[in-house]
Amino acid sequence: MKPLTAQSFNHIPLSVLDLAPINEGSAASESFKNSVELAQLTEKLGFNRYWLAEHHNMPGIASSATSVLIGHIAGATSTIRVGAGGIMLPNHATLVIAEQFGTLESLYPGRIDLGLGRAPGSDQATAHALRRTLGRGAEEFPQQLEELQKYFQINPGARVRAFPGEGLNIPIWLLGSSGFSAQLAAQKGLPFSFASHFAPDYTIPALNLYRDNFKASEVLEKPYAMVGVNVIAADTNEKAEWLATSQQQQFLSLVRGMPTQLKPPIENIDDVCSPIEKAHIEKTLDSRSTIVGDPGTVKEKLIRFIEETKADEVIINSQIFHHEDRLKSYEIVAEVFREHMKYQ
């Protein structure tokens, strides 16, 4: 594998994290149509990756069958990398993941990423329903990772082999929202993606842990960190703040333990939540990693985010109810970023 380094790019790449939102009153089929349109647009705009995340038992997220949806998006695009951000490995048998992503890489060679997380991607009851007889949890994640890596190696003497999968060059990323995966990615010499978009307090400590402990590997000569950020951009600050209330309501439903479909914007989030609930929302959607505003505001805050995190790549999540506003948000980001990064 050609080593992946920041010097491989003449600017910091932008990527997309799509949670495949199901809007209130809509269905998964509409979500998938919207995802295809967003992937095609961001490919034209020059975005580097399009990642989908595994969640279960969530009425507002349609990407539970993540590998299936990756294939759907890859088939509707031609150049953008498509992958998992991520597959929650403790939910699965490693052989199955190797075969699924071996299949995807065989169908769309050179375009598939395999990002791995160790959380269940849902509540404990759902995790139990997913795992059933696997009997494996997050604590066995390092062993599962090693198993998975071996399935992609050529090993004629192994009793169990992954076909397709064996011998294929599929980049593996580790994902995290704390220090565990940061340290494991450093030990393994793998690229690391940090979920700053919902864990802002741990961003800098986790990135420092990764970079300070990184060991070069055949995959990577130097640490490579992609950092997640929420961006909701519009023509005016007022409209962006209004659009942002959909994401705020989504987190409010999680705080209450009653996840819902993505709700339309409202005039004032204070009308639907208590002061304690609002404090929870503001802690998660902290201004350090949630950028809301007009083009000038987005430019200023995105530059600051990159400077503070020293990100090699930025992956953007935009939970916006109206599809046309979501497309517009990514267009604004691409334009302001392109203007600023010309000197990079």
At residue 125, the pLDDT reads 82
Report whether pLDDT(94) > 60.
yes
For residues 110 and 303, give the distance between their C-alpha atoms in angstroms, rounded to a whole number: 30
Which residue reads 């050529």 in tokens? 154
Element (H or E) spanning 106, and its range? Answer: helix 94-107
Element (H or E) spanning 18, and its range? Answer: strand 14-18
Tell me the chain's radius of gyration from C-alpha atoms: 19
CB 115 within 8 A of CB 97: no
pTM, to two decimals:
0.94
pLDDT greater at residue 140 or residue 120? 140
List Cβ neighbours of 67 (8 Å cut-off, separation of 6 or more): 84, 87, 97, 100, 101, 104
Q: Give 228's strand partners.
A: 315
Report whether pLDDT(249) > 70.
yes
- Taking only the tens place, the pLDDT of each residue in 180-207 is 999 999 999 999 999 999 999 999 999 9
% the chain with pLDDT above 90: 87
CB 191 within 8 A of CB 184: no
At residue 1, the pLDDT reads 35
The average pLDDT across 72-100 equals: 97
229 to each of 8, 121, 170, 263, how far by Cα in Å?
22, 19, 25, 21
For residues 221 and 200, give the distance between their C-alpha atoms in angstroms, rounded to a whole number: 27
78 pLDDT tier (thresholds 50, 70, 90): very high
Query: Which amino acid is residue 259, in one-letter code?
Result: P
Average predicted confidence (pLDDT) for the chain: 92
CB 141 within 8 A of CB 90: yes
% the chain with pLDDT above 70: 92
Report whether pLDDT(81) > 70.
yes
- Taking only the tens place, the pLDDT of each residue in 252-303 is 999 999 999 999 999 999 999 999 999 999 999 999 999 999 999 999 999 9
- Taking only the tens place, the pLDDT of each residue in 199-237 is 999 999 999 999 999 999 999 999 999 999 999 999 999
> Which domains does the chain possess?
6-343 (3.20.20.30)
- Taking only the tens place, the pLDDT of each residue in 294-324 is 999 999 999 999 999 999 999 999 999 999 9
Closest to 113 (Cα-Cα) out of 65, 187, 181, 168: 168
* 3-class SS of residue 78: coil
128 pLDDT tier (thresholds 50, 70, 90): confident
88 pLDDT tier (thresholds 50, 70, 90): very high
At residue 248, the pLDDT reads 98
122 pLDDT tier (thresholds 50, 70, 90): low
CB 329 within 8 A of CB 45: no
